[in-house]
A and B are shown apart, each in its own frame.
Chain A
Amino acid sequence: MTLTAPAPSAPARRAPRPAPARRFLRAVSPYSYLAPFFTLFAAFGLFPLIYTAYISFYRVELQTSGDKAWRGWGNYVAIFEDPFFWTALRNTFTLGALSTIPQLMLALGLAHLLNYRLRGRTFFRTVMLLPYATSVAAATLVFAQLFGHDFGLVNYVLSLFGISPVDWQTGTWTSQTAVSCIVIWRWTGYNALIFLAGMQSIPGDLYEAAEVDGASRWRQFFHVTLPGLRPTIVFAVIMSTIGATQLFGEPLLFEGSASGGISHQYQTLGLYMYEQGWSFFHLGRAAAIAWVMFLLILLLVGLNTLLARRRTAKETAR
């Protein structure tokens, strides 16, 4: 239509051809919007990341962090020869499994319930997120109290069922269970909301079709909800795995020392790194641990993605 009747103001509204200086400014200006973020990112994100690798080959002590002495693979050898490293590695896996698996299963169930047409929907969703708003420090201090040996509420409730007091701090499995409870409590609601968001993007006619075919609610959950939720589940699994690998505040505050219990029974890699760096002053060794953790995360994320891809490939092949 503009072909036959051009708007009268069109020629006047055309932007004037910018002068070279202005054109240059226009080409550069996008970068000035990125500059604040990327400057900070370079200084406090990227540089430390790379420098950690460099530091891990040097002897650096906390008090004299300016002096460095070349150590080659020495820091890595020292870690691998330390039995507590292997304890921490094993604990990171067992604590990760103990906290991540129940957490995600519970979150899935909760999300399913929240997805029904509910009265007080906003209330339920908000309350589920309350633990997430609580800090690691606050949550851990309360749970340490609840899991106390003599006067803890958990042991009292158990005693009502005739179970004798459990030592939630010195046993390996008991203390790991207690620490996992803190993680599960804090993160289940958060993950439930993420699953819920995923569920709500599954088209409703899929359920209607399933219902027409006579599928029970249970079958609908397994054959419509779960497949539709796969990308969200993969995302949540990856994020929780990363979170579990870095577990730090809970084991540090559960009884208050960096060793993660008397026999290091719940010391994680994150805590082990902190202990080496800030209790024993070996920053170089701590840097080496950081890199081992990073490689571990890469491995786990890669494994997760691979598994997810293979399952999707199988699904589409059917």
Chain B
Amino acid sequence: MHAGRLTYVFLILATLVSMFPLYYTLVAASRSNADIARVPPVLWPGPNLLHNFQQALHQADIGKALLNSLIVSTSITVGTVLCSTLAGFAFAKLRFRGRNALLSFTVATMMIPPQLGVIPLFMIIAKLQWANQLQAVILPSLVSAFGVFFMRQYIAQSLPDELIEAARVDGASTSRIFWTIVVPVARPAMAVLGLLTFMTAWNDFFWPIIALSSQEPTVQVALRQLGGGYVHDQSVIMAGTLLGTLPVLVVFGLLGRQIVGGIMHGAVKG
């Protein structure tokens, strides 16, 4: 069915609504506080962007926070993709006792809210004296039932059993099969899972504000400090917000199509 003119009108409207808050972040981040408080409101960017960036970097140590976020998100992405691919491969192609039970169990845990485990997790972290250290945020996030499920579906569908049989007959060990056959075939799915994981890790808020403090924040933790302080310098808050959002927006701008495809693909199978 072809789209009528009205369809485009509605879609453009939705596009504007989707983009406006981000655009407004840029407007407010590039203005002074006096500008933001003006009536009628200003709706186009001003000249103060760099100054406000500097202020934000200074006030909440956003520079360190950005670096921490990068370390955390990258480690989580690499670890999650690796663990998920290993387990996904085993669930899709290897035969062992308890396979179905373990898989259903894994999928069922996707329903459980992260809040439920936060208190003991906090106690574990305290006991290990990991509070305020980045591994406190990295290690618990390597567990992704969704990732395992996602990789299992992909490998089961796109890797024919015959290929693995043939490699076995030729005497290849399972680990060799994994690295030389499974990983190359699964690469597109690994990339999509990596993107989704990176975004989620970068944007994660709940656990980092519990496990980390203002001395060793991720960007989201630092944003909370900017927004929750007693001095409300709105343009600086918006500058910090923009700094914290930019990396994901860049990734999104470059690879948005793959991310969209990944979400739609995961949804059909889910």
Task: Indicate with 1 or 0, residue by residue over A82-115, a CB within 8 angstroms of chain B CB atoms.
Answer: 0000000000000000000000000001100111
Please give, as numbers and ranges, the residues of chain A lying within 8 Å of B163 by CB-CB distance.
none
Q: Find the residue from B14, B102, B109, B244 having the highest chain A CB count within 10 A.
A: B14
B interface secondary structure, majority: helix
Q: Is A55 a contact partner of B3 (Cβ separation < 8 A)?
A: no
Given A15-B171, A130-B22, A135-B203, check contact A245 B113 (CB 8 Å). yes
Q: Is A151 a contact partner of B116 (Cβ separation < 8 A)?
A: no
Alpha-carbon gap, A110 to B36, bound state (A): 33
Chain A nearest CB from B122 CB (Å) reads 7
Task: Indicate with 1 or 0, residue by residue over B22-42, a CB within 8 angstroms of chain A CB atoms.
Answer: 101100100000001111110
Q: Is B117 a contact partner of A49 (Cβ separation < 8 A)?
A: yes
Given A48-B121, A142-B238, A253-B224, check contact A37 B86 (CB 8 Å). yes
Alpha-carbon gap, A33 to B183, bound state (A): 13
A interface secondary structure, majority: helix
**A312 on the B face (CB < 8 A):** no
- Stretch binding the partner chain, chosen from B46-54, B135-143, B184-192: B135-143
Q: Find the residue from A37, A51, A144, A286 having the highest chain B CB count within 10 A.
A: A37
Alpha-carbon gap, A52 to B117, bound state (A): 6
**A185 on the B face (CB < 8 A):** yes
Task: Indicate with 1 or 0, residue by residue over B1-12, a CB within 8 angstroms of chain A CB atoms.
Answer: 111000100110
Q: Is A36 a contact partner of B86 (Cβ separation < 8 A)?
A: yes
Task: Indicate with 1 or 0, residue by residue over B117-130, a CB within 8 angstroms of chain A CB atoms.
Answer: 11111111011000
Chain A nearest CB from B234 CB (Å) reads 6
Given A128-B18, A185-B21, A193-B267, check contact A135 B120 (CB 8 Å). no
Q: Is A150 a contact partner of B245 (Cβ separation < 8 A)?
A: no
Task: Indicate with 1 or 0, residue by residue over A128-142, a CB within 8 angstroms of chain B CB atoms.
Answer: 111101111111111
- B103: nearest residue on chain A (CB-CB)? A34
- A211: nearest residue on chain B (CB-CB)? B1
Given A44-B140, A118-B7, check contact A145 B115 (CB 8 Å). no
Q: Is B244 a contact partner of A48 (Cβ separation < 8 A)?
A: no
Alpha-carbon gap, A122 to B252, bound state (A): 13
**A166 on the B face (CB < 8 A):** no
Alpha-carbon gap, A248 to B256, bound state (A): 27
Given A116-B3, A283-B119, check contact A138 B37 (CB 8 Å). no
Q: Is A34 a contact partner of B205 (Cβ separation < 8 A)?
A: no
Chain A nearest CB from B211 CB (Å) reads 11
**B148 on the A face (CB < 8 A):** yes
Please give, as numbers and ranges, the residues of chain B lying within 8 Å of A139 by CB-CB distance.
21
**A17 on the B face (CB < 8 A):** no
Given A116-B7, A198-B268, check contact A136 B260 (CB 8 Å). no
**A158 on the B face (CB < 8 A):** no
Q: Is B241 a contact partner of A142 (Cβ separation < 8 A)?
A: yes
Q: Is A41 a contact partner of B22 (Cβ separation < 8 A)?
A: no
Contacting B at CB under 8 A, from A23-78, are 26-27, 29-31, 33-34, 36-38, 40-41, 43-49, 51-52, 55, 60, 65-66
Q: Is A142 a contact partner of B124 (Cβ separation < 8 A)?
A: no
Please give, as numbers and ranges, the residues of chain A lying within 8 Å of B257 by CB-CB distance.
122, 126
**B112 on the A face (CB < 8 A):** yes
- B84: nearest residue on chain A (CB-CB)? A37
Q: Find the residue from A136, A190, A207 having the highest chain B CB count within 10 A.
A: A136
Please give, as numbers and ranges, the residues of chain B lying within 8 Å of A249 by CB-CB distance.
205-206
**B264 on the A face (CB < 8 A):** yes
25 A-B pairs with C-beta separation under 8 A: A34-B87, A44-B140, A45-B117, A48-B117, A48-B121, A122-B260, A125-B260, A131-B18, A131-B21, A134-B22, A138-B245, A141-B238, A142-B28, A144-B227, A145-B234, A151-B37, A156-B40, A197-B264, A242-B111, A242-B113, A274-B210, A287-B119, A287-B120, A290-B116, A297-B111
Nearest 8 pairs of A and B residues by beta carbon: A48-B117, A135-B203, A116-B3, A33-B90, A48-B120, A126-B256, A51-B120, A256-B228
Chain A residues near B (Cβ < 8 Å): 13-15, 26-27, 29-31, 33-34, 36-38, 40-41, 43-49, 51-52, 55, 60, 65-66, 109-110, 113-119, 122, 124-131, 133-146, 150-151, 153, 156, 185, 189-190, 193-194, 196-198, 201, 207, 217, 232, 235, 242, 245-246, 248-249, 252-253, 256-257, 270, 273-274, 277-278, 283, 286-287, 290-291, 293-294, 297, 301
